[in-house]
Amino acid sequence: MWPETRGYPLPVIPLEEARAYVLDRCPAPVAGVVDLRGALGLVLSGPVGAVEAVPPFDNTAMDGFAVRAADTAGAPVGLFIVGTLAAGSVSDREVGVGEAMRIMTGAPMPPGADAVVMVERTSASADDTIVTVEIEVPVGNHVRCAGEDLRSGQEVFAAGTVLGPTHIGVLASIGCRSVAVYRHLRVGVLSTGDELVTGTPGPGQIRDSNRDALLALLEDSGITGVDLGLVADDEREIEQAILAGAADCDAVITSGGVSMGDFDYVKVVLNRIGDMRWMQVAIRPAKPLAFGLVDGTPVFGLPGNPVSSMVSFELFARPALLSMLGNTRLDRLRVTAVSDGGLGRHPDGKVHFARVMVGYENGRFRVSTAGGQHSHQLSAMAAADGLAVIPDGDGIPDGGEVEVLLLR
């Protein structure tokens, strides 16, 4: 148990130390088997192999005529039409010398044929008995060979693959209707404070925006958010809400009450029921952070200011939750960009995360400020495409390079 922080000046720690502390204490991902249609966005817990070839048989990629390639030499040539083969059917009739079979896209190649002439390069006689082939074609022309996409026994996807729509399609093509994955997460989000309301604010009150923003961030990360509600400043109610969330969810997120000097009911309750660490991180915004376990469930205590809450989620909660999903790529894409207009700051011993708009021009990413940089100015966060990582010092001059964490 880390000590109650009221009146205790906590040492400021580097971002990397705080991040490592959180990641090291998050539970390992839990594997399970789910239906293929419920696997989107989940991570494979083991490799998947093909139990059959894709495609399973030689088939045509075009509507046209299945022929012996050798019969097209010296085109134009006339060939006898010996049948029609549609997709979903097979033919026992062999295509012999001087013969052709009308064939539709996806149909299996008939015996004897080794090439397809697309219909646009042919013309049939009025009685539909002879087709004139206008071009010479090589063996394999417009033929999709068995196993051309996947061979039987081939590893299709490695463990750790995050399943997107195309992965789902490939798995369906090999008959994989259930998959072994790391199971989905449900994360509870709690707001507390008598000053917060969901309706029209009264004197001294403000609307609760953090809960909706955090729930949206979870959904955007492929995680199910569970609304634990807006709870009054009452220790018993807060304790019940946190314990219920810890029992029902894989993690719990609160916002507010983690700053030095705060006397917040959330802090009092978490210190009593959980193993919490209260941290001051050398970043701006989002300096205060709390993290710990309540009955084995991770609890993230994020700052109360809206921008600080969202930045803290990006830097700490999102990577930790992705690790619990089995992801190996925990961070958003980082790029090097050119600053248009400069990104000013003053030395203060912290790394600053400036909200910036990101563009791409002449092979380079370019950034400019998204607006006000105070931690309560949520509109600038909404306008931002990224967070510029500005080291301690005097900032980034106009035309200078800066590392950017892309948010979209």
Is residue 304 over pLDDT 90? no
Confidence grade of residue 198 (pLDDT, cut at 50, 70, 90): confident
Question: Does residue 231 belong to any structural domain of this protein?
Answer: yes
Are 357 and 227 within one domain? no
Question: Does residue 6 belong to any structural domain of this protein?
Answer: no
Is residue 41 over pLDDT 80? yes
Are 188 and 178 within one domain? no
- How far out from the chain centre does Cα 107 lie? 37
Is residue 366 over pLDDT 90? yes
Domain of residue 80 covers 59-144
Is residue 3 over pLDDT 50? no
Question: Does residue 2 belong to any structural domain of this protein?
Answer: no
Q: Give me the pLDDT at residue 263, please.
A: 60
Q: Are 29 and 324 in contact (CB under 8 A)?
A: yes
Backbone torsions φ then ψ of 122, nearest 5 degrees: -135, 165
CA–CA gap between residue 64 and residue 132 (Å, rounded): 12
pLDDT tens digits for range 257-284: 776 655 678 888 999 999 999 999 999 9
Are 251 and 349 within one domain? no
Q: Give me the pLDDT at residue 375, please.
A: 87
Are 168 and 255 within one domain? no
Calculate mean pLDDT across residues 42-56: 96
Structure tokens at 158: 């490695």
Q: Which of 129-138, 192-201, 317-326 has the lowest mean pLDDT?
A: 192-201
pLDDT tens digits for range 215-259: 999 999 999 999 999 988 889 999 999 999 999 999 999 998 776
Task: Specify the CATH number for the domain of residue 101.
Answer: 2.170.190.11
Question: Does residue 272 belong to any structural domain of this protein?
Answer: yes
The residue count of the chain comes to 408
Q: Give me the pLDDT at residue 58, please.
A: 97
Are 224 and 311 within one domain? yes
Structure tokens at 17: 């130390």
Confidence grade of residue 400 (pLDDT, cut at 50, 70, 90): very high
CA–CA gap between residue 291 and residue 8 (Å, rounded): 17
Q: Give me the pLDDT at residue 189, please.
A: 98
Task: Specify the CATH number for the domain of residue 258.
Answer: 3.40.980.10
Are 207 and 283 within one domain? yes
Q: Are 341 and 368 in contact (CB under 8 A)?
A: yes
Are 197 and 90 within one domain? no
Q: Indicate the Cα dihedral angle 25, 31, 34, 38, nearest 10°.
A: 30
Are 138 and 240 within one domain? no
Q: How does DSSP classify residue 374?
A: S
Calculate mean pLDDT across residues 169-195: 94
Is 288 strand, coil or helix? strand
Are 139 and 162 within one domain? no
The one-letter code for the residue type at 190 is: L
Are 208 and 278 within one domain? yes
Q: How many domains does the chain have?
A: 4
